[in-house]
Structure 1
Amino acid sequence: MAELRRHAERIYTGAIRRALPDVAVKEALKGFRPGPGRTRIIAVGKAAWRMASAALGAIEADGGLVVTKYGHSQGPLPGVEILEAGHPVADAASFAASERALELVRDLGEGDSVLFLLSGGGSALFESSDLPLEEFRDINRQLLACGADIQEVNRVRKRLSNVKGGRFGEACAPARVFSVVLSDVLGDRLDMIASGPAAVDASTLEETLAVAGKYGLKLSSQAMALLARPLPAALPHVESHVCGSVSQLCQTAAEICRGLGYESRVLTDRASGEARETGEALARALLRERRAERPLALILGGETVVKLTGQGKGGRNQELALAAAPILAGMEGTALFSVGSDGTDGPTDAAGGFVDSGTWALLREQGIEVPAVLAENDSYHALERAGGLIVTGPTGTNVNDLSVALYWPPGMPQNEEPVFTTAEYRL
């Protein structure tokens, strides 16, 4: 099964390499026409450093700010402050970074411009609220633990925020805002990516209150009052461009799979269910569709959720992969992996996980039962024991997750060389 592991590495590294924002940001900036005044760069998200670096190679700026996750900056950038903050839950550094961003745009006027570079992760990294930090963090913890999908989570967070739901874009006025967005949201909805700091919100108060009721969120009277505040109804001075998405990630993965000799199919680029259920369904689809005479790759992208029932360590991609292990057990020639394109999966140093037909037996030999591990949300340690952790380090991009199930008929020879060069797809 070592060959399937090597195939998996080629697929995810190649797909992520193609999703790096450098070229896409420079292409988007061909349409940027700054005003006669000052131009400031505000970059927010897990890919903020790389996006800002690309932008600084294409335009001249009068200072700016990068706000990214701890460990995701890659060194100083000329004339730009770099602040790191908490993710997936906002911390004091998130609040401080957001206040600094507001300071940098408050003195802008007619003829000035803001280049706003946005990527996933901004919902936690870029945050300011009238609520005390601990209360705000508690609400976030409730949302992340209850099984709410990302759109439901953001629907609540943006109304508690002073920079989400278009409020940062509003704060930039009258300066013009040119927003370049790397999408980690299904359907590339601008109001949902990082909770839409510079986009008019499409949700209603009634929908937000329905989320709170559905999951039994415990909210103070102050929090309820903040939810009721109106969001900006129009932002005529803001122009936005999406420069990368999960659909592109999936299509690149499919191209690489074909180069390796697989028949490849993208099942969906909008996966959003529970991680363990998605992993089981993908594994079953592989077993159902495999044929003795053909290699097969089934691909899906999106962002699943984990419902916390234990106190273990892991992330949605690790849980998705591990849940497939019992289904693939003993099915020679099968494997499945799932990775976060940003290189971090939940609060861990892993990007995701890999399992094959031998993973289940290997774990059982060590006294580890997959259902018990999943109940404890401890996929990290189980995959570590099975040699199934995928560790890439921060990648510099963030366009959701990639999950691929692989089948190579036992005994069928491998291609000696794929139809692409390794260097083209290396991170």
Structure 2
Amino acid sequence: MPTDMPMHKPMPANLDDTEARVLLRRMLDAAIAASQPALCIPAALREVQAATGNPARGRLIVIGAGKASAEMARAVERNWTGPLSGLVVTRYGYAAPCERIEIVEAAHPVPDAAGHAAAQRMLELVQGLTWDDTVLCLVSGGGSSLLPLPLDGITLEDKQLVNGALLKSGATIGEMNCVRRHLSGIKGGRLGAACHPARVVTLLISDVPGDDPRDIASGPTVPDASTCGDALAIVRRYGIELPERVLDVLRSGRGESVKPGDPRLARSAVRMIATPQMALEAAAGVARDAGITPYILGDSLEGEARDVGKVLAGIALQVAQRGQPFAAPCVLLSGGETTVTVRGNGRGGRNVEFLLSCALALRGQAGIHGLAADTDGVDGQEEIAGALIGPDTLERAWAAGLRPNDSLDNNDGHGFFSALGDSVVTGPTLTNVNDFRALLVLPQGPDRANQAN
């Protein structure tokens, strides 16, 4: 937990609704604070400086992409003692003021021309480097969309179509990034290979289940053992319709990524500086300080958001009604990245879809409150991080004329929670360690509702 987090007096275990919401929001804030680049970058930079010498041999070139990359770049400028230059691309609205590293903003989750131009410039920037030079690559979640550089024969419009289709398909983040790596001129180790013979040090803020470096921004500087055949199988598995010229890249093998053992990556090192587990542990510390026992169920839960909502609701109900497997008061914490197979035309959001499904499964059970949010501040394509639920969520929805089941069927979690005033809005958090979920179970009386719609 970061040392600059404010201290709070312990709260009673039997909290009222307002106190429960305050505690849940404090846990989210702690998770976000623990993964801030300003906290994570300095120690990593000391290792880089020790490896390159002081004063450093050769140039230091900083490149990177992701929702946290601009804030990472600012932390580098504040903590690096020698000269440096570079280029980093981040999401619109996520820029941070830098003096020596150029910050470019581009679109996410569907790429645009600004990201395309930035990716081309980044490859040009690392041409002609020497053995004495060092490339510091700052990578966080969102980089796949922010560095769209199609392979020859594919257009930016094709990449936009592919991204949109993948987002709606229900594929996992690992599956989506496998496809992206094999259609890109910069991902799947290609950016790292372009830096050869310079030393490459990649600092990662993980937003993916399992913290696999290949899946964070689709691994622009790390080797990739997956194949075009793997990517083609994913496209077929989910029935994703792609232009014939895109399919040809996969069928022909022209999209093969840089494989393990490639000599161009022999001087490449990777360090994970912030992860979902670190964020969950920070939230757990806040719960303990409040007298609530935390249980981290996992930092890499995947699956359909509505299905995960039902499962975690079932565990919370067992705690509330049976005292198993844990006793109340407690909080069930989890991270990872769920998916949404889009069938409706609502405003979407995987965290709000999880919460709406969870609320329906809880059926107004007294004493259970929840919060789910994306730690980057954007759930889906909305400038809303997530939402809150409580024992009265369904009752208030019915009173407002909402039909929760219909909202879920329409993939309209954001519309549902916005109408109730239960959205969680953080603004740009300048970091990204993926989804944060917390179900707070307090000792209470019987459930307050007996129907779901």
TM over 0.5: yes
User: Does residue 176 of the first structure (1) align with residue 228 of the second (2)?
Assistant: no
CA distance in structure 1 between the partners assigned to 2:310 and 2:364 by the alignment: 15
Q: Secondary structure, in 3 states, of the residue corresponding to 2:176?
A: helix
Deviations 1:66-93 (CA, angstroms, capped at 9, x unpaired): 210010113x301221111111111111
CA distance in structure 2 between the partners assigned to 1:274 and 1:107 by the alignment: 46
Q: How far did residue 225 of structure 1 move?
A: 3.4
* Equivalent of residue 253 in structure 1, options 283, 286, 289: 283
Q: Secondary structure, in 3 states, of the residue corresponding to 2:64?
A: strand
The answer to whether the 8 Å contact 1:146/1:308 transfers is yes
Aligned ranges 1:49-64 → 2 under 5 Å: 49-59=70-80, 60-64=82-86
Deviations 1:231-252 (CA, angstroms, capped at 9, x unpaired): 2222112111111111111122
The answer to whether the 8 Å contact 2:368/2:442 transfers is yes
Percentage identity across aligned positions? 39
User: Does residue 287 of the first structure (1) align with residue 351 of the second (2)?
Assistant: no
Q: How far did residue 264 of structure 1 move?
A: 1.5
* Equivalent of residue 101 in structure 2, options 63, 80, 96: 80
Q: Secondary structure, in 3 states, of the residue corresponding to 2:129?
A: coil
The answer to whether the 8 Å contact 1:301/1:403 transfers is yes
Q: Name 1:148's counterpart in structure 2.
A: 171
User: Does residue 160 of the first structure (1) align with residue 155 of the second (2)?
Assistant: no
Equivalenced residues, count? 410
- C-alpha root-mean-square deviation of aligned residues, in Å? 1.5
* Equivalent of residue 329 in structure 1, options 355, 360, 363: 363
CA distance in structure 1 between the partners assigned to 2:155 and 2:400 by the alignment: 46
Aligned ranges 1:6-25 → 2 under 5 Å: 6-25=22-41
The answer to whether the 8 Å contact 1:329/1:356 transfers is no
Q: Secondary structure, in 3 states, of the residue corresponding to 1:187?
A: helix
User: Does residue 401 of the first structure (1) align with residue 423 of the second (2)?
Assistant: no
User: Does residue 388 of the first structure (1) align with residue 422 of the second (2)?
Assistant: yes
With 53-62 and 152-161 compared, the bigger mean Cα shift is at: 53-62
Q: Name 1:360's counterpart in structure 2.
A: 394
Paired residue type of 2:275: S
CA distance in structure 1 between the partners assigned to 2:183 and 2:126 by the alignment: 21
Paired residue type of 2:420: A
What are the ranges of 5 or more consecutive residues in structure 1 without an aligned counterpart?
Answer: 412-427
Q: How far did residue 382 of structure 1 move?
A: 0.9
Q: Secondary structure, in 3 states, of the residue corresponding to 1:194?
A: coil
CA distance in structure 2 between the partners assigned to 1:274 and 1:350 by the alignment: 20
Deviations 1:75-128 (CA, angstroms, capped at 9, x unpaired): x30122111111111111111111111121113223111110111110101120
What are the ranges of 5 or more consecutive residues in structure 2 without an aligned counterpart?
Answer: 1-16, 446-453
Deviations 1:1-32 (CA, angstroms, capped at 9, x unpaired): 11111111111111211111222111111211
TM-score by structure 1 length?
A: 0.93
Q: Name 1:349's counterpart in structure 2.
A: 383
Paired residue type of 2:78: G
CA distance in structure 2 between the partners assigned to 1:62 and 1:231 by the alignment: 29
The answer to whether the 8 Å contact 2:319/2:441 transfers is no
Q: Name 1:71's counterpart in structure 2.
A: 93
Aligned ranges 1:207-226 → 2 under 5 Å: 207-226=230-249
The answer to whether the 8 Å contact 1:90/1:124 transfers is yes
TM-score by structure 2 length?
A: 0.87
CA distance in structure 1 between the partners assigned to 2:162 and 2:128 by the alignment: 32
CA distance in structure 2 between the partners assigned to 1:159 and 1:211 by the alignment: 12
Q: Secondary structure, in 3 states, of the residue corresponding to 1:178?
A: strand
